Structure 1
Amino acid sequence: MTVSDFDSHRPPELPRRRRRKPGKRSRGSGDGSRETPMVPQAEFSSYYGRPVVKPPPWENPIAAYLFLGGVAGGSALLAFGGQAAGLTTLRRNCRLAAISAAGAGTVCLVADLGRPERFLHMLRTFKVTSPMSIGSWILSAFSAAASIPALCELDRVSGHRVPIGPLRKALRALEAPAGVGAAILGAPLSAYTAALLADTAVPSWNAAREDLPFVFVSSAGLASGGLAMITTPASEAGPARKLAVLGVAGDLLASQIMEKRMDPVSAEPLNEGRPGAMLKWSRRLAAAAGIGTIVAGRHRAVAVASGLALLGASVLTRFGIHQAGIRSAEDPRFTIEPQKARLAARRAAGIVDDSITTAG
Structure 2
Amino acid sequence: MQQLPLYRRDKTLWQQLAYSPSTFMSDDGYDVSYDKQAKARYALLIELQYDLQAQDEALVRYLFTQDILNHQEGSIWGVSDALVLNAYLLASFKNPDDIPLFYNAKHSNFDASFVIDNEFMFYALEDKTGRFIKNNFPEIYDDLQELYSQYSCASALEEWWTQLSSNYPKQEADEHLYTLYQRHLYLDNYELAKKYLEAWNETTPDSVNKQNTLKHAYTELKEYLKVIELLKEELAASDSHWDSISCYRDLLDFYIKTEQSENASKTVDCIDKELEEFSDWKNVGLGRMTIEKIFEFSLLADNTAFGIKAFNIAYKWLRKIKYDLSYVGLDTALKAANKYHLTIQANKLEKLLMAVQYRTEKDLMPKSWLKLFLRRFF
TM range (shorter): under 0.3
Which protein, 1 or 2, shows the higher relative CO under an 8 Å CA cutoff with sep ≥ 6? 1
Q: TM-score, normalised by structure 2?
A: 0.26
Q: TM-score, normalised by structure 1?
A: 0.27
* Richer in helix (by share): 2
